[in-house]
Amino acid sequence: MKIPIILTFLLLIIGIIAHLAIVKCSIVNNNQISNVIQVWACIAAFISATFVIYSYWITNQSFYLSQKPRLKLAIVDTYPIDEKTKEKVHYTRINYANVSDNAFEDLTIKINFIYNNTTFSLVLFDEKMYMAPRDVRDRYFSTKKDLKEKYAFSLEEAEKTGKEILITTEYEYTFCGKKEVVKMQKYIWETNKQRWAIKYPNKNL
């Protein structure tokens, strides 16, 4: 709303300057009145056009944004019972849902694992996926087992160091020919509770 207000203010200044110039330069009184009326009529028309154009632009912008698909992406802890040991095993569940009425045509979800200044991507999703409106899906992996077997990372050894173990989430897609990258939550591994928790800035969890 600042743009039309600023333009209106500038147009009013121009109108006042033109008004004073007409009053100062015109000799015939009838011409003064006619010219002043024409100036302020033009100023009023420009101000009206400014708000109409701005309103049209806002409406188009709102429609444009409403066509964007939106993804809910969350890391959730699950503890299924291992059939062999009969003990609970920590699994990481990635819940993702298209919460809009618009489809993703080329959705790419990125889950990055960060430890000791080293980052590697967890290969859990296909790139450039199609995801229908209101579609809800889950992806699971055995937190300790899969990290060790697939990525050669020992969560147990990392826990002993006391250093932060993090997961970051983000997704990207193409909208109107432009690549959109949306960074989501960052999660920290809580060793004492054996779970993921949202990592808040400037806060020790």
Q: Check whether residue 43 and residue 120 sit in a common domain.
A: no
Give the structural domain span for 42. Answer: 2-66
Instruction: State both tokens at 149.
Output: 């077997």
Q: Do 81 and 124 contact (CB within 8 A), yes or no?
A: no
Q: Check whether residue 51 and residue 34 sit in a common domain.
A: yes
pTM of the model: 0.69
Q: Do 40 and 1 contact (CB within 8 A), yes or no?
A: no
Q: Check whether residue 80 and residue 165 sit in a common domain.
A: yes
Render pLDDT for 16-74 as a digit per residue (tens, 0 to 9).
Answer: 887 777 767 755 566 667 777 787 888 888 888 888 888 877 777 777 677 889 999 99
Q: What is the mean pLDDT of the chain?
A: 87
| 91 is a domain residue | yes
Q: Check whether residue 58 and residue 137 sit in a common domain.
A: no
